[in-house]
Structures are given as structure tokens and as C-alpha cells.
Amino acid sequence: MSDRKPNLLIHESSPYLLQHAYNPVDWHPWNSETLELARQQNKMMLISIGYSSCHWCHVMEHESFENNEVAETMNKHFICIKVDREERPDVDHLFMDAVHLLGQRGGWPLNCVALPDGRPVWGGTYFRRDQWMGILLQIAELFDKQPEALIEQAEQLTQSLKENRIMKSDKSWEDTDDALLRKMMASFAGNFDLKNGGSKGAPKFPLPDNLLFQLLAGNVFTNSVMTDHVRLTLTRMAVGGIYDQLAGGFARYSVDDRWHIPHFEKMLYDNAQLITLYAEAYRQFQDPLFAEVCQQTIQFLQTDMRGPEGGYYAAIDADSEGVEGKYYVWTRDEFNEVLGDDAPLVTAFFGIDGDAHWEDGLNVLVLPKSVTEFSLENGLDAANFAVKLKHARQLLLSKRKTRIPPQLDDKRLCSWNVLMISALCHAHIVFDDPAMLAQAKQTANFVLSAMRQPDGGLWRSWKDGRASVPAFLDDYSLLINALIQLHQSSQEEEYLVQAKMLADYVLDHFSESGQPMFGFAESSQTELVVPPTESYDNVMPSSNAAMCMALVKLGMLFGLSHYISRAEAMLFQVKPMMAGYPGGFSHWAQALMMINGQKLLVIRGPFYKEAAVQARRKLGLLTLVAAADKKSLIPAVQAKSDTGKLQYWYCDHSGCLMPAASFGELQMMINQETS
């Protein structure tokens, strides 16, 4: 690498961009200077989008972007731009939408061509070197000899992007909200894998927000099909290879239909949401496996993905030494070498060369049986075997740490970090662990200080002491929800004050005239020919769904009718599509359940914090708790009389019950009201 000159990416902080800094391709970062250069030189832009832990991004770099002949062709005909999709999701949204409109399957690496004015004209994903060269030369020749053909396609594509940007439906939802939610549950159930959990077929993705909706809706509607399926799914994931059976934490997805062989990358946003899900599932089912997975995953993130300032790293790569999964897999001989006399038992427990077998004598560890079941089958004392197993795990982990580890993407992304804040807060409530709340506060303090702009706005990314890239709607909306969750865990009202300030910032800077939905980027940002709007939930809640949820909660706590009205208008726009495509609207559905119930427990009096934590542990995620003693900044609390004694008020959309002197008394009143 030392004999090659760096390109402009050498000045970037993104680990993904820095991976390409010594490519012979004359890469530019996405910024206003690069866009102006394309216009000045009248050259098409070649935009290549990926992320640091993307396996096929690495493959295409090695095959094409490190090749001098390919680089020469790219440099001659295009202004070449590298984009980290995690830092610039707005750019990724635009070009991914364009690729879908062109009838192509999306994915990463995402490679697109745009005219010098920024209008997309062509795109695809991974290409072999010969394919890539052929496509580039064909497009370059077309731009040279028949530019009008490309211009016509760009005009049509841009018009379609503009039309699709505003979510529209040819019908309105005329049934009740309960009927809508029941149809969503039925639609989900039609695709359930009743053996392995999740959805039918392969690959299998953990979809935390879909599963959380199923869990919450299953309880609201007393639908055991939903709750049983969530329990099955979480159990099968926890004992599969998608879960790191030594250190904890989940890989991105499994390539098979039984959660065994993962795509080995580990992402912060997956693991944070799964902590929330497993904590809530433990609260409901009291399954010790769920508690173990939740706590072990938190420990993994604390150990392997947390910086000294309290921020969490983005991802751990799937590859090490150029081989996917090499860091994580085991042979029987390695087990024998590490474990000695204990090897036969531990080998059998982890399914080596049986349930754990992958290929070529390699194994991805699984748990075919629980400790109790395995001990019973093998005539072992379960407690003694658990001790032996703990020691074996430590030995195996120590051995694994001698291997060359996968690359770490150590940038801190605002939206992903705040998902971790929410996760730690909910785990704190469920497990009554003050350390979890302390960790959540430290991360929140980091985000609110290091990633805050002078005008009150946010930065999206932070690395090596430097914040960069103006934040997007997902950063704001998820942070607002995380601050509300911090209040729910601590009853410290300053977090709600911060949340409301950020919500008002979003209303001022992301609103669009005549539209209930918010833009994905601030309205002042004009780099993209079609500014994206994000409405469909994916692995993470969509930024608009998360903002809808935030407005509902803040509207309830502060008595702000215009917040509630805005949330209702947003929901009205998506309702016609929710039943037909529930996987894309699971967070919207949670916001709908929240706004319809508007369940709020108000507590006043001495020892209110302890009372609030106890109540939160008993109440689901669809109920808010607000507590104080003498004075409160929350109108819902301040409106209640201060008698000097602890009192509880349970309120919903229809009003409040009479005050109760204890939580037990309150529960009896609620049960009588709902029976």
C-alpha cells in the first residue's frame, strides 16, 4: 500500500471510506465540492455505496477497485464517489429507490451512475470485474454519442422518484383501528415458521420491531398465536449459531432457515433492539434463557463495542484474514486441544460435528439441549456441569482471542447509540440493575454533548474526537424516544425537557408544507435532486414512525394537543397500507396502539422514584409513567393534588380513575375497570 498515493478519502473519518483511501480509483467523498466538480467538468458521477462490514463490498473492492485497469476506466469517464451508507443514509435512500424503480434488486455494494446534475440514470449491486468493465464502457459510450437517451431516462426516473416520495394510497382505511391491528396480526401469522420461528424460508433475519409488535399486540388482543410465536422465535435464535454462544451478541442474519449459519457481521442496531425485545420477553414469560441472552449481550457490547467516552461502535466485520466467519468457527481438534479431559462432554453439548457442523469439518456452535436436558440425558449433576461449562467457555474464549479478529468499525452513530440507551433503560427496569441505567446515562451525556451542534441540532457521526455529517430524522426521532425512556427509568424530568426541545427542532427544521410526514434530512439540505422521505419500517423503525411515537408520548406527558394531532395525521396517511404489508409498518402499529390507549400512570408523593420503578416493571411498554413529589415540569403530574402521601392515578383516553394509595390497590381498580 505504501507505493500507492492516497486519494481524497484519506481525509475522511469513516472506516469504510478509509478502506478505499489507497485504491487506484480517484475516489471523492460525497459533498458539495464533488457535486460542483461533476457539473464543471460535465462528467457523469459514479456513486458506489457500502459499509465497513459488508462482505460483498470487500469482494468488489478486491476484484475491481484495486485493479489498475478498472480504475483507469472509472477515472477517465466518471467522477467517482464513495459513500458510507451508515453516515449518509440520505444518499443511500435516493439511489436505492432509483435502483428499485429500474426493476433491480437492491443491496450492497450499491453502484449507481448519475448525470452531472445529480439525476440518477442507472444502478445495480455487485458485479464481477468483466461485467463491471463492460457496463462502464457501454454507459460512457452512450453518454458520449447519445446523451439524449440517458437524459430521457434520468428525467423519467427523477419524476418517478418525486411521485413516490409522498406516500399515497388509492384508498382510505374505513374500518376500526382494532380491525386493522387484527388484520396485521393475521397477515404476520400467515408467514410464521412454526418449527423454527421467524418467517418461513431462508435467509432468516431477526426483525426486532416486528417481533415487538407481535408481542405487544398479542397481549393487547389476548392472541396466543402471536405471543407463542415470539417466544418460539426468541428461543430458537438464542440456541442457534446466529447467537454467539461464547461471548454473546447476535450476527446480522442466518443464511439457513434454522438460525444456524450466520452472516457473521455484528451490528449495534440489531443487538440494541434485541436487548429491548429479550428484556420485555423475560418480563412477560420469566424464561431464564431470555434473561441470560439479554444480560450476556449487554456484556458483549460493553466489552467489545463500547468506547471509553461511553459511545458504542457501529459494527464488527464478518471477515477476518479475508475469510467470512473464520474468527468464530471451530474444529473438533481445536476443542480437544483447548479442553483436554472435558472435551468429549463440552463437544457433545455444543453439537460439534452434529447439529453445529457447517462445512469442511468447521462448526458454528449451537445449543441442541439445555444444561438441564443435557445433564439428565448424560447422568450429570446439572449444577456441576454448569460450572464445568462456564470454565470451558472461558477457555474457548481465551483461545479465540488469540486469533486475528475481524475489523471493527469504530465510528459512533447517533441513531444506533440512542437505540442502545433505550435498550439499557428497559433492561434496567426489568432486571433492577442500577449499572445499566448508569451506562445509559453516560451514553446519553456523550450524545448530548459530543454530537450536539451549537444551534441545538445534532451531528450524525463521531470518531476520534470529531463529530461530522448533520444528523437525519432517524437520529432525532430515536434520540427523543431514548430520552423519554431515560425519564421512564429515572423519573428525571430534565430528559423530557431535552426531548421536547429536540421535538420542536424537528417540527421547525424537518416539516414540509402541507405534509404530515417529515423529510429525512433538514429542509435546508439541497444536495439531492429528490430529498428522501422515510416511511416504511425495516430492521429499524422508520424515522417517521419513530417521530410519530415520540409525538404521541410527549403529547401525553405535556398535554400538547398539536403533537397528538400531528401524530394522528401521520397515522392516517399510512393506515391504508398497514394491513397489506405489516412488516413495513410494525412501529407505526405500536404508535397506533399507544395513541388509542393513551395509558398514563401518574404518581405523586414521597419515594416516588422507587414507586415508579416498581410500577414500570409491572406495566407494559404501552403505558407511560410520570412521577414527582412536590413540583413537576410535567403538566399531567402537576395537575394532581399533593397530599404529602404517595398516591397513584391511572389515566387513559377516557380519563383518570380515582387515586389509589398503593400499586396493589391501583391494579385492583384497573382490573375492575377492564373486566
Q: Within a domain: residue 558? A: yes
Q: Is the same domain home to 297 and 256? A: yes
CA–CA distance, 143 with 79 (Å, rounded to integer): 14
Q: Is the same domain home to 253 and 380? A: no
170 pLDDT band, cuts 50/70/90, is low
Upstream peptide bond of 109 is cis (omega within 30 degrees of 0): yes
Residue 661 lies in domain:
599-674
SS3 state at 142: helix
> Which single residue is written with the C-alpha cell 399515497?
168
Residue 602 phi, psi (nearest 5): -105, 135
Burial degree of 395 (CB within 10 A; 0-12, 13-18, 19+)? middle
> Angle 473-490/414-431 helices, nearest 10 degrees?
20
Q: Is the same domain home to 478 and 623? A: no
Which one-letter DSSP state was computed for residue 668?
A: H
Strand order in the sheet with 266-267: 266-267, 315-316, 408-409
Burial degree of 476 (CB within 10 A; 0-12, 13-18, 19+)? buried
Give percent of the chain with pLDDT exceeding 70: 98
Q: Is the pLDDT of residue 541 over 70?
A: yes
CATH number assigned to the domain comprising residue 29: 3.40.30.10
Q: Which of 674 and 389 is assigned the larger pLDDT?
A: 389
Residue at which a domain ends, from 567, 597, 627:
597
Mean pLDDT, to the nearest integer, of 120-135? 96
Q: Is the same domain home to 142 and 159? A: yes
| Strands (E) located in 57-134 | 78-84, 110-114, 120-124
Q: Within a domain: residue 465? A: yes
Q: Evaluate whether 595 touches 567 at the Cβ level (below 8 Å).
A: yes
Please name the residue ranges forming H helices in 253-287.
268-285
Q: Among residues 573, 570, 529, 532, which one has the least CA distance to residue 551? A: 570
Q: Is the same domain home to 235 and 384? A: no
Q: Within a domain: residue 316? A: yes
Element (H, E) at 184: helix 177-189
Q: Is the same domain home to 377 and 513? A: no
CA–CA distance, 282 with 276 (Å, rounded to integer): 10
Residue at which a domain ends, from 553, 570, 597:
597
| Strands (E) located in 318-438 | 319-320, 323-324, 357-359, 362-363, 408-409, 412-413
Q: Within a domain: residue 2? A: no
Q: Is the same domain home to 204 and 303? A: yes
Q: Is the pLDDT of residue 71 over 80?
A: yes
| Model pLDDT for residues 191-211, shown as the tens digit of each residue | 999 999 999 999 999 999 999
Q: Is the same domain home to 429 and 477? A: yes
Q: How many domains does the chain fold into?
A: 4
Q: Within a domain: residue 173? A: no
Q: Within a domain: residue 170? A: no
| Model pLDDT for residues 565-618, shown as the tens digit of each residue | 999 999 999 999 999 899 999 999 999 999 999 999 999 999 999 999 999 999
CA–CA distance, 267 with 365 (Å, rounded to integer): 19
CA–CA distance, 358 with 219 (Å, rounded to integer): 38
Confidence at residue 1, expressed as pLDDT on a 0 to 100 scale: 45
SS3 state at 45: strand
337 pLDDT band, cuts 50/70/90, is very high
**In whole numbers, what is the pLDDT of the chain averaged over residues?**
95
| Model pLDDT for residues 480-515, shown as the tens digit of each residue | 999 999 999 999 999 999 999 999 999 999 999 889
Q: Is the same domain home to 134 and 151? A: yes
- Name residue 668's beta-bridge partners: none
Q: Is the same domain home to 539 and 490? A: yes
CA–CA distance, 542 with 508 (Å, rounded to integer): 20
Residue at which a domain ends, from 115, 136, 165:
165
- Name residue 603's beta-bridge partners: 627, 648
Q: Give the number of C-alpha atoms closer than 13 A to the C-alpha of residue 329, restricted to the C-beta side.
A: 22
Q: Is the same domain home to 247 and 153? A: no
Q: Within a domain: residue 256? A: yes
Question: Using only C-alpha atoms, what is the Rg of the chain?
Answer: 26
| Model pLDDT for residues 405-431, shown as the tens digit of each residue | 999 999 999 999 999 999 999 999 999
> Which single residue is written with the C-alpha cell 434520468?
154
Confidence at residue 174, expressed as pLDDT on a 0 to 100 scale: 75
Q: Is the same domain home to 477 and 569? A: yes
Q: Within a domain: residue 172? A: no
And the C-alpha cell for 377? 440425558
Q: Among residues 417, 423, 418, which one has the least CA distance to residue 280? A: 423
